[in-house]
Chain A
Amino acid sequence: MARVVVIGAGISGHTAAINLKHKLKKSNEVIVISPNSLYQWIPSNIWVGTGHMTAEQVIFPLSIPYKKLKIDFRHAYARSIHPDGDSKSDKGFVRIEYVDSGKFEDLQYDYLINSTGPKLNFDATEGLGPNKSGTLSICTYEHATQAWGELQKIIDKMKKGQKQKIVIGLGNGGATCQGAAVEYVLNVANLIKSKGLENMADINYITNEFMVGDLGMGGAYVRNNGYVAHTKNIIESLFTEFGIKWHTKNSVYKVEPGKIFYEHIDGEEKVLEYDFSMLIPPFSGVGLKGIDKQGNEITDGSLFKPNGLMTVDADYSSASKPYHEWSGEDWPSRLQNPTWKNIFATGIAFAPPHSISKPRTTPSGRPLTPAPPRTGMPSAVMGNAVATNVADLINNNKPLDGKLKINASMARFASICVVSMGYGFRGIAGTMSVYPTIPDFKKYPDFGRDIEYTMGEPGIAGHWFKWVMHYVFMYKAKANPGWYLIPD
C-alpha cells in the first residue's frame, strides 16, 4: 500500500487528487491537505466580480467529492516538507498545522504532489491590495464579492451624474494573469454600457505587457476571420470597441488611495488616478519550507527556488540564453524534483525555467516581465498528468527515474481560454485556443504554434461555451457520475 499526499485543493491539486483516487488500486491512500475547506472554480470569479453570479455559485465544500471518493482530507496548513525524514525515520513527511485546533502533525508519504497554488503577494507593491490602498482583486471569491460591492457604489455615483475613473490591470511589473484582468475590464465596460452609463466612465487598462494581447505568453498568432492575426490586434480591437484606454509597458510600484504610481519602460514616472481599481497582485510561493534530516532549512535550491516555488526537472540554465533560443525543451516534462524523485509539483507551485514573454526591466531596474500563466486549464492538465504518472508508478511498481506514462510539459499540450464580455443568452465571449501552450519556433518557425489548433473568435457561441464549461467543470469537480470522462 502506498500513501500519496497532495498539498493544495485548488484546480491543480483537486484534479490530481480525484484522478489519483480513480486510477490507483483501492488499497492505496490519498490524503489532501488544504487550509481551504471549499473548492472554488476560479475562472467564474469574473462573473462574481460583476454581479452576474454569487460566490455560492462558484464554490462548494470539498467534503462532497472527498466523501464519495474516500479521500482523506486534512483541513490544515502545510508548514514544511522533510524529504529525508528526521532522526526517528528516513521516510519523508509533511508537517501540517490544523486550521481549527492549531495542532501540528507529521504526515509521512510515499509520494508527494505539491499543488499549493500561489500566495497573493500584495506586499511586492507598496500599498497594493484591499487592506491597504483599497485596490481590489478578483483572485478569490471573497475578493471578487468585495469588488462587486465596490463596483456597485461607483455605478450608483455614475447614475447620479458623477464621472468615475476605473483602472483595471496588473499591480506589479512581474505579475501574471493578464487574461483575467482583460476579461474583467471587458466585463466591467460591458456592464456599464448595458446600463447606458458609458459616457460617465473613463475605463483604463494598465499592464506590464509590452503590448496588449501578450497575456504572459508572448501573445499568440491565431486563426481569425481569414487572417493569422496576433492577439494584440484582437484585444486592441475589443478595447477600441468598448472605449477602454490601454497603458502598456508599465511597472506599478506604489499605490495610494486614489493614485497608482508606475514607471514606464522609457523611465518616465507617472501617476494614474482612480475611483475604482482592480489590480492583480504578483504570485509567489506560499511559504512552505524544506527541512533536512538534521532539522535545518534546505536553502541550496534543491527543493525550492528563492521565490518559494518548487524545483523540478526544468532546464533552469536556459534562462541565461538569448530569448530567441528559449524553447519548449526548457520546460519540465515530468514535473518531478530532481533530488527527491518521489516529489512532484503542478500548477503555480513549480518553478518555471523562465518567462514566456520577453523579459524586460525599466531603466531604474523595476521588473517588466509578465510571469508565465500556469492557472486554469494548464494547471488542471498538469494535475491530471502527474496523477496518471504517479498512479502508474505505484500500480506497476515502476522505478522513479524510469520513463513516465505521460509527458506533462506545457510545451506538449494545448490551452483553452474563453474571455467573456458580458453575461446571459446574448453575452459575448472570445474563445481562444493555443497549441502548444509554450510556443516552439523550432517546430513551428512561422508563428510558434500550430495554426490549425490555435484560434480566436468572438461571438455569443463563446459565451455559451464558457457558461456550459462552468457547470460541466463544477459537475466534474464534485466527482458526480462519469466525471472522469470530462476533459480537463
Chain B
Amino acid sequence: MNTQQTQLKTSWEERNYTEWNFGMYPLASERFRRKCVIYQLFRFIVLSLKMLKVASLK
C-alpha cells in the first residue's frame, strides 16, 4: 500500500519535539464539504436561522 500523504507543512522532525503534533487534520471529504457551494448554501441558510435564534436567547 502506498497511500498518498498530505505533506503537512511542519516537518515530523519539528513536530516530534513540540506541541504542534496532535491536531486533527481534515481529510479530502471535509475539505470538499467546506467549499461545496450547494452544500454551503444550505448551511448558510441553516446557520443564519440558528444564529438569529442564538442572538435572541436571553
Contact = CB atoms under 8 A, between A and B. Distances in A.
A461 B58 contact: no
B34 A240 contact: no
Contacts of A248: 19
Contact of B57 (A246, A414, A468): A414
Given A433-B50, A462-B47, A413 B57 contact: yes
Contacts of A246: 19-20
A412 B41 contact: no
A460 B43 CA distance: 9
B48 interface: yes
A288 interface: no
A86 interface: no
A453 B57 CA distance: 9
Contacts of B24: 233-234, 236-237, 240
Given A237-B23, A240-B8, A428 B35 contact: yes
Contact of A245 (B18, B26, B53, B56): B18
A455 B50 contact: yes
A458 interface: yes
Contact of A236 (B23, B35, B48): B23
Nearest to B9: A243
B48 A465 contact: yes
A449 B23 CA distance: 23
A435 interface: yes
B44 A453 contact: no
Interface size bracket, A side: 35 or more
Nearest to A415: B54
Given A237-B24, A237-B25, A240-B20, A433 B34 contact: no
Contacts of B33: 459
Nearest to A458: B34
B41 A461 contact: yes
Task: Name B's interface SS.
Answer: helix
A416 B30 CA distance: 23
Task: Name A's interface SS.
Answer: mixed
A435 B9 contact: no
Instruction: Report which residue of A458, A460, A488 has the largest number of chain B beta carbons within 10 angstroms of its beta carbon.
Output: A460
Contact of B22 (A236, A413, A458, A462): A236
A416 B20 contact: no
B58 A413 contact: yes
7 nearest CB pairs, A to B: A243-B9, A236-B23, A240-B23, A461-B44, A461-B43, A237-B24, A487-B55
Interface of B: 8-10, 14, 18-20, 22-26, 30, 33-35, 37, 40-41, 43-44, 47-48, 50-58
Interface of A: 198, 225, 233-234, 236-237, 239-243, 245-246, 248, 377, 406-407, 412-414, 416, 426, 428, 431, 433, 435, 453, 455, 457-462, 464-465, 468, 487-488
10 contacts: A233-B24, A243-B10, A406-B58, A416-B55, A435-B57, A460-B34, A461-B41, A464-B40, A464-B44, A487-B55
